[in-house]
């Protein structure tokens, strides 16, 4: 029988996050620290906007780039925040969808993509699928933005630098000085920066700084999934200065033949979401962050998360994957660090769960040390 599966599928593995998440259905009442999904529901006013759109018959395709009202609101916000005149905008099916479109539009076989390690899982696998080369830049042990290492990794084949702040899996939020330093490097070397800012509203010790404020050669990606608990609605946006309009137009062209458009009724809800205040929801996550950090800091090596809803913790006395096996055997679901890294020294927990579950999980983890 002929081989049916394309060779490129051997370049990726099934998501380690999803593998662990699937275990939740097999265990009895586990503490689920695996998935990055808010434990609150979509706020009621935003649900009503989606329901109104559905009942009004707005269930057909939108324009490929997005509904005009939403695009106009995104453009206005981006202009106010970054000072960009007439920015290019695309509404995507989640930041993951936006990342795929960007990589498809930009990466040729052999192109190098610089990625700080640890990193969100999708970057590595999509670059590999497209025949690009990931250049990982170590940010251990403190997970600060390794600007000088990034500068030293740039070659003639470098196509882009991927930035993620607040960061999944480490919970780090890079400082304005770090962001400005990277913007300077990118400008001097004429390298595109792709900044994944899906967690930009989950920044606990002050606002997260976007490199869009300091860099003209940048694609900014933000989404609605985490801030408004719309993970199943698959909605995000890509914004860029007018100088990169041609790149965004290529992404829109690819969207025509892949996602077609983002879900239309949810785009109407996103218009309302852009004016919805989530600060009270984020305050709850400051409390959850503090529960995790205070509960584990004397038993484990970890840095206090500054954003997102993850802690990246060094495994005590063994590899990350070995420790994760022990943890799962004790009915707690966590993710081995090698899912997010070229190293196998840590594990990730998501504290996007109830305070009760967090305390249960802390008690179990402490007993395992």
| pLDDT the model gives residue 245 | 98
Please write the tens of the pLDDT for every residue from 278-287: 999 999 999 9
| pLDDT the model gives residue 3 | 79
Q: Which helix (H) or strand (E) holds 314?
A: strand 310-314
Q: Which residues pair with 212 in a beta bridge?
A: none
Q: Which domains does the chain have, with CATH numbers?
A: 7-42+278-368 (3.90.1150.10), 60-273 (3.40.640.10)
Please write the tens of the pLDDT for every residue from 316-363: 988 999 999 899 989 999 999 999 999 999 999 999 999 999 999 999
Q: Please give the average per-residue pLDDT across 303-324, as a whole number.
A: 95
Which percentage of the chain shows pLDDT scores above 90? 88
**What span, in angstroms and rounded, lies between the C-alpha atoms of 127 and 147?**
21
Q: Which helix (H) or strand (E) holds 137?
A: strand 133-138
Q: What is the pTM of this model?
A: 0.94
**What span, in angstroms and rounded, lies between the C-alpha atoms of 271 and 229?**
15
Least confident of 105-114, 161-170, 173-182, 325-334: 325-334
Query: In this structure, are residues 317 and 11 in contact, taking their beta carbons and an 8 Å threshold?
Result: no
């Amino acid at each position: 029988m002929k081989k049916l599966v394309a060779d490129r599928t051997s370049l990726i593995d099934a998501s380690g996050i999803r593998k662990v998440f699937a275990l939740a259905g097999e265990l009895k009442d586990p503490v689920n620290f695996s998935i990055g999904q808010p434990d609150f529901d979509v706020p009621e006013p935003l649900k009503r906007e989606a329901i109104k759109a559905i009942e009004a018959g707005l269930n057909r395709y939108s324009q490929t780039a997005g509904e005009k009202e939403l695009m106009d609101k995104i453009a206005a916000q981006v202009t106010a925040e970054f000072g960009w005149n007439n920015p290019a905008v695309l509404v995507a099916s989640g930041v993951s969808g936006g990342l795929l479109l960007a990589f498809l539009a930009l990466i040729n076989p052999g192109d190098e993509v610089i990625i700080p390690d640890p990193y969100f899982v999708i970057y590595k696998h999509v670059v590999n699928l497209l025949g690009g080369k990931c250049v990982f830049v170590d940010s251990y042990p403190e997970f600060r933005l390794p600007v000088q290492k990034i500068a030293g990794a740039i070659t003639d084949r470098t196509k882009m630098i991927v930035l993620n702040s607040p960061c999944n899996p480490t919970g780090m939020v890079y400082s304005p000085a770090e962001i400005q330093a990277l913007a300077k490097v990118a400008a001097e070397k004429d390298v595109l920066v792709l900044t994944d800012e899906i967690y930009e509203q989950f920044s606990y010790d002050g606002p997260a700084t976007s490199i869009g404020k300091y860099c003209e050669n940048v694609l900014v990606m933000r989404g609605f999934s985490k801030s408004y608990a719309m993970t199943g609605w698959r909605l995000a946006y890509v914004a860029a200065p007018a100088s990169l309009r041609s790149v965004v137009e290529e992404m829109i062209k690819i969207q025509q033949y892949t996602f077609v458009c983002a879900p239309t009724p949810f785009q109407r809800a996103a218009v309302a979401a852009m004016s919805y205040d989530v600060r009270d929801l984020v305050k709850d996550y400051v409390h959850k962050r503090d529960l995790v950090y205070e509960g584990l800091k004397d038993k484990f090596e970890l840095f206090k998360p500054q954003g997102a809803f993850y802690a990246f913790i060094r495994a005590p006395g063994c590899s990350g994957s070995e420790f994760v096996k022990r943890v799962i055997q004790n009915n707690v679901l966590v993710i081995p660090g090698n899912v997010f890294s070229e190293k196998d020294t840590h594990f990730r927990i998501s504290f996007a769960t109830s305070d009760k579950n967090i305390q249960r999980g802390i008690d179990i983890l402490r007993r395992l040390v």
